[in-house]
Chains A and B, each alone.
Chain A
Amino acid sequence: MNVLHFAGAFFSDSAHWHGYDGIPARLGEHARYTLQALLLATAIGLPVGLVTGHYGRGGNALSLVATAGRALPSFGLLVLMTTLLGFGMLPVMIPLVVLAVPPILVTTYEAMRSVDPAPVDAARGMGMHESRILFQVELPAALPLVLSGLRSAAIQIVSTATIAAYVSLGGLGRYIVDGLYQRDYEKVVGGATLVAVLALVTLALFWAVARISVSPGVRRR
């Protein structure tokens, strides 16, 4: 038996396509966790990155926070939070958000800093307000990089959201955790495959979003 056989057996078993432990339900849960964590992380990281990048201040403090965030082990944080807060959604969200904020924050800051200063100078010189300069001059130019930060955050959340299963929540991690416990390797491989597919889908989604939202003048194609 190799990995392909395991995967084949898992996906051809019709029992895996129905019910609360079925693939659609688990995928839905996983996608929901991912989306929630990504939205929370974006709500924190994006505004801070945009504003600090615009004014060019606080870069050192940012990288300190980011390094600290990256150094925290997600699994350790999950166990700690569950011990402190009990079972539930919140102890899962905290490690995922802590994981996702640094790439969003740092990439957004760097993206804003790397915008050509000439158009910004021109915009200021023609009497544009600072907020308008941020949203209408800098952000459109920084957008490809900003999106790449969001994308790597999203991918990391997708793969890390499996830990939710350790604290008795759902998601695709369920298959991996249960499979390992039951020595059901079909389940383990199937779950891992689904996580990988979801990561690829996320990539495709971000590609589409960039395609729609980044101006052809910035994309240069």
Chain B
Amino acid sequence: MIRIESVTKRYPDGTVAVDRLSLEIPDRSITVLVGPSGCGKTTTLRMINRMVEPSEGTILLDGQDIQRQPVTTLRRSMGYVIQNAGLFQHRTIVDNIATVPRMLGWGRQKARARAAELMERVGLDAALAKRYPYQLSGGQQQRVGVARALAADPPVLLMDEPFSAVDPVVRKGLQDELLRIQDELGKTIVFVTHDIDEAIKLGTMVAVLRTGGHLAQYAPPAELLAGPADAFVEDFLGGDRGIRRLSFFPSGALELTAGPVIPLDATAEQIAAPDAPFLLVTDADGRPLGWSEPGDLAAGDIRPDRLLSHGRPFVPGTDSLRVALDCAVLSPTGWAVAVDTDGKVTGVVSQQTIGEAIRSAHAAGRAHDEVAG
């Protein structure tokens, strides 16, 4: 565990970048430092690997003061990923990744083999191994940056706005990749960003810092969205807090109904039986085709092109309540379509039912807080 104990960074000109900051960074989880520019988030990160030395206070790594060991030893035990990757332009991709193992005295063969393994782990094509950084896209370069930081298998990973220079689509891919890698490797990651959505998506714990290097709130993202500590945090979180918080509620408990679901070759009875304003028609494999009012359907002659779009379906259990609600809101009938991982319809659910699920999830959350508090 990394413990930051009332650390202050004051520059010779009197500016205070970080002001008596205390944080406990739990092992094997992603802790995000987020805040507006000038809030000292990068300075805090750089104090952990002593790229910046604190003016006051101590930082403990597994109970040991980080000042106690040689600075290069400390840094080699921590992966370091920066914005724009900072790759060595004169080295091939594989040699970039092999940098730290080579520094630690590994043989060339072993280091390259390790680099090849990491390229695969971060989703880089092996054909890129002999290329030079300038031949790669920004997103690929950033993947190399992550692979290079992971090369010597350090327990700690420090990431300083690693994804802020790539476009939103690539950024989303990199974020998903990081979460997947973290699932596999379980590193202690400290991640700096100015993007609150990125913080909420990636963070196990999120530390919101305000200008002048003060800690405004330190909490898991769901808690942050549910109860911002003050006006600054609330403002920084932005709008739609309630909706965004739904991302943390699973949709597995939603009560689905299969009543209004009929096959393409439905009989007149099947069309008449459900007492529903809309029916969902599925194809022979059980995949959704579209919605229709029962009165517009003729048995034996259901025309798929005449149906209303079924919108985007959600997967109960995998997707969150936010996705389910979004599907219901986007659906022309107000009903969300639930499918299994193969895309087969497992049922439909109304906005009303989702609303009830949200209310009970909130109630459960409050009960949990009361027990915990």
| Least Cβ–Cβ distance between A142 and chain B, in angstroms | 10
CB pair B90–A217 under 8 Å, yes or no, is yes
Q: Mark B260-274, 1 if CB is under 8 A from A, else 0.
A: 000000000000000
CB pair A126–B134 under 8 Å, yes or no, is no
Q: Which residue of B lies closest to A143 (CB)?
A: B90
CB pair A126–B99 under 8 Å, yes or no, is yes
In whole angstroms, what is the CA distance A217 to B92 when docked? 7
Q: Which residues of A contact B80 (CB under 8 A)?
A: 122, 125-126
Tell yes or no: A127 within 8 A of B by CB. yes
CB pair B82–A217 under 8 Å, yes or no, is no
Query: Contacting A127 at CB < 8 Å: which of B74, B85, B86, B90?
Result: B74
| Least Cβ–Cβ distance between B353 and chain A, in angstroms | 51
Interface SS of B by simple majority: mixed
Q: What is the interface size of chain A, counting residues whose CB is below 8 A from a CB of the partner?
A: 24
Query: Contacting B82 at CB < 8 Å: which of A118, A128, A140, A218?
Result: A118
Given contacts A126-B80, A127-B74, A127-B75, whether A121 and B132 have CB atoms under 8 Å apart is no
Q: Which residue of B lies closest to A215 (CB)?
A: B90
Tell yes or no: A76 within 8 A of B by CB. no
CB pair A119–B88 under 8 Å, yes or no, is yes
CB pair A124–B91 under 8 Å, yes or no, is no
CB pair B134–A119 under 8 Å, yes or no, is no
CB pair A125–B72 under 8 Å, yes or no, is no
Given contacts A121-B82, A126-B100, A126-B103, whether A218 and B89 have CB atoms under 8 Å apart is yes
| Least Cβ–Cβ distance between A60 and chain B, in angstroms | 21
CB pair B103–A127 under 8 Å, yes or no, is yes
CB neighbors of B among A102-155 (8 A): 116, 118-129, 132, 136-137, 140-141
Given contacts A217-B132, A220-B134, whether A122 and B75 have CB atoms under 8 Å apart is no
Q: Which residues of A contact B133 (CB under 8 A)?
A: 217
Query: Contacting B76 at CB < 8 Å: which of A118, A126, A216?
Result: A126
| Least Cβ–Cβ distance between B92 and chain A, in angstroms | 7
Q: Mark B69-108, 1 if CB is under 8 A from A, else 0.
A: 0011111100110111111111110000001100100000
Chain B residues at the A interface, C-beta cutoff of 8 Å: 49, 51, 71-76, 79-80, 82-92, 99-100, 103, 132-134, 145, 148-149, 158
Sample (10) of A-B pairs whose CB atoms are under 8 Å apart? A121-B86, A125-B49, A126-B148, A127-B103, A129-B72, A141-B90, A217-B88, A217-B132, A218-B90, A220-B132
Chain A residues at the B interface, C-beta cutoff of 8 Å: 116, 118-129, 132, 136-137, 140-141, 214-218, 220
